[in-house]
Amino acid sequence: MKTTLLFWLFGLMCFFTHSQSLMELDTTEYFDFWVGEWQVAWDEGNGVEVLGTNTIAKSLDDKVIIENFRITRGKSAGFKGMSMSVYQKRFKRWKQVWSDNQGGYFDFTGAVDGDKRMFATAVTEKNGKQQQQRMVFYDIEENSMTWDWEKTEDGGKTWSLLWRIFYTRND
């Protein structure tokens, strides 16, 4: 996340942009970049742009991150989902649970890879293949980021993109 500082130098107004690395954050702050009001957009195929909103807020003494996702335009208009994310100090890990109005339910564990923040499902077996899904937040800026939904069937050697959403901050 970038922080912009304003200061006066020799009578001139100066701007300084500082990218905050994960090394500077407490583990409990790894997903704070996500808090806010967001417009979300992606390509549904054939050049059709889908739009939605995602509202993320802290709750329960700022220990839990609550997400409310809505698709407002496109084939899936009316889709709604929500998640709760929390850092479990005892286990030194982030956890998230997701559910939606289509009967979807996912249980994720958080991870960090360089500047990417992720939530991944446990490995499951389907049709004799081990599968895992994850969401990846990257290109994280103060007012924008990219989110990918991916899956692997080879133990994480390769990941296939299933859905890419571009976030733009409203607030």
pLDDT in the model for residue 22: 59
Given pLDDT bands bounded at 50, 70 and 90, which one contains residue 23?
Answer: low
Query: What pairs with residue 40 in β-bridges?
Result: 52, 167
Task: Note every long-range contact of 42-45, with CB atoms under 8 Å and residues 24 or more positions apart, other chains counting.
Answer: 42/163, 42/164, 42/165, 42/166, 44/74, 44/75
Q: Which domain holds residue 65?
A: 2-18+27-169
State residue 50's pLDDT score: 92
Count of domains forming the chain? 1
CATH number at residue 94: 2.40.128.20
What confidence tens digit (pLDDT) does each residue in 111-164 have? Answer: 999 889 999 999 998 888 899 999 999 999 999 999 999 999 998 999 999 999
